[in-house]
Each structure stands twice: as C-alpha cells, then as structure tokens.
Amino acid sequence: MSEITLDVVNPFTLKRIGTVGLCSDSEIDAMLGVAHDLYRNRKSWLPAFRRIEILKTTAQLMTARHEELALLIASEGGKPLVDARVEVTRAIDGVELCVHEIGQMTGKEIPMELTAAGSGRIAFTQREPIGVVVAASAFNHPLNLIVHQVAPAVAAGCPVLVKPALDTPLSCRAFVDILRQAGLPKDWCRFAACQNNVAEKMITDPRVGFFSFIGSAKVGWMLRSKLAPGTRCALEHGGAAPVIVDDSAGIDAMIPLLTKGGFYHSGQVCVSVQRVFAPAKIAAEVAQKLADAASGLRVGDATDANVDCGPLIRPAEVDRVEQWVDEAVQSGASVLTGGKPLGQTTYAPTVLLNPPQDARVSTAEIFGPVVCVYGYDDIETAYQAANSLPYAFQASVFTKTLDVAMQAIQHLDATAVMVNDHTAFRVDWMPFAGRRQSGYNTGGIGYTIHDMTQDKMAVIKI
C-alpha cells in the first residue's frame, strides 16, 4: 500500500477517528492485472458452493460485530446510531439474500425445432460472471451500499475492486476484511481507496467488465462517457422526490411518515421526501404539522443513541444548504421551522411553505434536512410540477381513494410509486432505479447479480 494516507473524521466533531492508505496508480494497475488474470483463468473461478460458504460465514461474522459496525457507521458517516443499527441489519440480510440469489442464477432451454433450420439441435443457456467489477460508492450508507455492490460481485463469481467514498472508507474496509476472514481469497476483493484521478483511470480501464457507481449524477454520467468499449455499468444517482397529498388523505397519519422520509439521515438520501404537493386549502396545515414534528427532532452527534438527525457529511454542505434556503426565503418562501445552521456541522430540520418553483430547493436535490410544501388547486398541475424536473426516482401519494391512488401510479414519472408511504421506502430485493438523469440500469441485489453475469448458450447438434 502506498505511503499516502487519509485521515477519516467524525463529521460532527471533525475529530480524526481513523486513517486509511490510498492506492497509487501503480498499485491499482497491479490489482486490476491480478483480478483480470483471475477472471481469464477459468480454473481459478470459485465454485458456487464455495461462494455460498463464504457469504454465509460473512453474515455470521457481521452479526457477531453488529454493534461495532453500527458505531462505525455513526462515527464516520453521521447517521444516527438508531438508524445505523438498522443499516447493519439490512446489510446482513443483503449478504444472506446474495446466498439465495446464487441458486437463482439459472439458464433455460431454448427451443430449436421451431423451424426446419433449427431441427435436430438442443440448446440451453447458462449464466457466467461478466468479468472484473469496479465499484465506486457513496457516503450515506457506508456499509449497506458496499454490500449492495460487492456481495453481488462475490455471488456472481466476479473479482471486484471497491473504491469507497473518501468520507466513509472505514465501513468498507471492515466489510472487505470480514470477507477475507470468511475465506474469500484477497485477490477476489480488493479495497481500493484512492484519489479521484486514480479512480477514474481504474474505472475506465479496458480490463473492467462492469462498473457500479453510486453518487452524484454529474460524476456518474461523466464516468459512463469515458468507459472502455464493452464495459457494462449501473449508475445510481439522486432525485428530488415528490409527494402528492390528496383531499382525502389522513394528515395526522401521514406526518410521521413524511417526517421520517424527509429527515432520515438529515435528508442525505437519494429518495428523501423533498417536494410535498398538497391542496391549497390544507397546504399550510400540512406544512405546519410537519414543522411541528420536525422541530421536535433532536440534532447532534450521531453516536448518541438519543439523536434523531446527525451532521451533514462536511461543513461545506451546511453552507450550501444555508445558501439554498436563504435564496428561497428571499424569493418568497415561508420558513415554518429551522432555516438556519445549528453549528459548523449541523443544519436545523427545516420546512418551507411555497418556495418559488425556480428556486434551487425546488429544482435540484437538496441532500439536506429540508422539506418543501406547495399548495395546488388542481391535482393535474401537481402531477405536472412533480414530473417537471430532469430527475425521476421514487415518488409517493397519500390518499384514501383508490381512483386517486391508481391515477397517481399512472401519472407520476417514477420507477416506484408508494401509496400512503414516504418516498424513501425500500427493501433490498425490490428493483431500485432512477429514470432519466437519476440513474441507469436497475439496483436491488438480485438485479445487480443478474447484471454482473451474462448468458452463454450451448447449441448441440444431435
């Protein structure tokens, strides 16, 4: 490992909590060479039963270290400990889901005698690993995102190099270490923390078979444009998730869901509740009740089990959110709660009523603890506003009317529409994807494993 090291800090206290070594160009090149050789030498491939054993043991080791991993997530990523514990449980479930999915990596018989040309032949397909996987991840779920990218590669039989977000590399390193402790040979999964210029060379190398990216749209689309010919990819970006509230919705019942969906991890989630569209006659009431709930959230150090909202990942993000909110307020938005930093590293949970449609809080992903509520006169205009951005990920509708629910499912431009739930709902076996600028291809563990494998057909002439 290179002598260049990176200090990892707690984003609330800004105190160092660990260090990681950063890989150089030559080290990454060597890792890619070894991984590519592993893939090209079919005798070295790990059989399915061995991958199953490794992943089962990995889940067991993670379970034994559950609280340690949760505290690591809270310490380096600023996710409240109560939510970090949930993330660890999800990550363990994800590894176990990979075990299940290995048994689903099946081919099928292809009928040959449909025409005279195919007569006298038997054909079938099998799934094979696609090649070397390079995964670049985001900070906001520093263990579970790594599991979603790396464990499917292991399940598929692909060598993998993983580049964590440099804000949160410790959870990734811990997971790679656990895989090795579980019996995965080290060359099959390499921890490849590195600076962005080195990462770009790694990602665009022609030896890469599949590139998995979770992060900003600007970076993801740029990297996709530079991939070597033949490299497949999946990109997961963000959005500005819309919620439609119908006249019939039960306001009191939906407020806790909107609060969780909007302020979970201080809004640093790609499908956080951001834009709530409610009938004009009740918009102020919805916004005020949401503000009352938000004002009761406790903000502080994520390692404190009583904290609801932790810090933003960097002080610069606090400054950015403050600028966006100030801009919206100066243009006419009403602040019902929050609207200010609470310190260098935290921003108060904030509810804005009727910010301008062209303000940045209305047109771009906030990725902070801010929810905007807008009044509408006609639900059709609410759909139009919800669909007006170049991003489309998950959306939701609150209603007691089946017709409205079905109409929203049909009209909202989203890959998933939640009915009477917040936009950030997810289980790890469901398809999870952004449309348009919000992403490319489909996440979810089974879908990722499928993308990391490819069909091979055998045609046997009798």
Assess whether 262 and 378 both reside in one domain: yes
- DSSP sequence for 242-267: EEEE-TT--HHHHHHHHHHHHHGGGG
- The answer on 315 and 279 residing in a single domain is yes
Alpha-carbon span 162 to 188, nearest angstrom = 11
Q: Specify the DSSP class assigned to residue 309.
A: B
pLDDT in tens, 123-173: 999 999 999 999 999 999 999 999 999 999 999 999 999 999 999 999 999
Q: Which of 266, 302, 265, 311 has its CA nearest to residue 81?
A: 302
Whether the pLDDT of residue 292 is over 90: the answer is: yes
Contacts made by residues 444-447, CB under 8 angstroms, sequence distance 24+: 445/94, 445/97, 445/98, 445/101, 445/148, 445/151, 445/152, 446/97, 446/101, 446/104
Question: Is position 223 within any domain?
Answer: yes
Are 81 and 109 part of one and the same domain? Answer: yes
Same domain, 353 and 390: yes
> DSSP assignment, residue 308?
S
**β-strand 350-353 against 370-376: which pairing, if any?**
parallel
320-377 pLDDT per residue, tens: 999 999 999 999 999 999 999 999 999 999 999 999 999 999 999 999 999 999 999 9
- According to DSSP, the β-strands at 109-110 and 121-129 are antiparallel
Residue 240 has pLDDT above 60, yes or no: yes
Within this chain, do residues 232 and 313 fall inside the same structural domain, yes or no? no
- What mean pLDDT do residues 5-11 have? 96
Tokens found for residue 293: 């709930």
Task: State the CATH number of the domain containing residue 151.
Answer: 3.40.605.10
> Which ranges of 9-139 would DSSP assign to H, the alpha helix?
25-40, 48-64, 66-77, 81-102
Is 173 a member of any domain?
A: yes
Q: Is residue 432 part of a domain?
A: no
- Whether residues 59 and 185 fall in one domain: yes
pLDDT value at position 435? 87
Do 273 and 388 belong together in one domain? yes
User: Is the dihedral angle over the CA atoms 190, 223, 128, 43 positive or is it negative?
Assistant: negative
Whether residues 169 and 315 share a domain: the answer is no
What's the number of domains the chain is made of? 2
Tell me: do 184 and 318 sit in the same domain.
Answer: no
pLDDT band at 275 (very low <50, low <70, confident <90, very high): very high
pLDDT at 3 over 80: no
- Answer whether residue 290 shows pLDDT above 60: yes
| Least confident span in 114-123, 314-323, 422-431 | 422-431
For residues 16-44, give the mean pLDDT.
96
Cβ-proximal residues to 87 (8 Å cutoff; 6+ apart), any chain: 70, 73, 79, 141, 143, 144
The whole-number pLDDT of residue 2 equals: 56
Is 431 a residue whose pLDDT tops 90?
no
Segment 43-56 shows an average pLDDT of: 96
Q: Give mean pLDDT, residues 187-216.
A: 96
The pLDDT value recorded for residue 251 is 93
End-to-end CA distance of the chain: 55
Nearest to 144 by CA among 21, 7, 265: 265
181 Cβ contact list (under 8 Å, min separation 6): 57, 61
The string of pLDDT tens digits covering residues 59-79 is: 999 999 999 999 999 999 999
Instruction: Let me know whether 199 and 311 are in one domain.
Output: no
pLDDT confidence tier of residue 1, bands split at 50, 70 and 90:
very low
Q: What percent of the chain is modeled with pLDDT above 90?
A: 94
Does some domain include residue 156? yes
Domain that holds residue 415: 241-427
Same domain for 268 and 145, yes or no, is no
Whether 433 maps to a domain, the answer reads no
Residue 398 lies in a domain: yes
Q: Would you say residue 50 has pLDDT above 80? A: yes
Q: Average per-residue pLDDT in the chain?
A: 95
The answer to whether position 85 is within a domain reads yes
Query: Same domain, yes or no, for 208 and 299?
Result: no
**HSE-up of residue 333 (Cα within 13 Å, Cβ side):** 31
The sign one gets for the Cα dihedral 450, 451, 452, 453 is positive
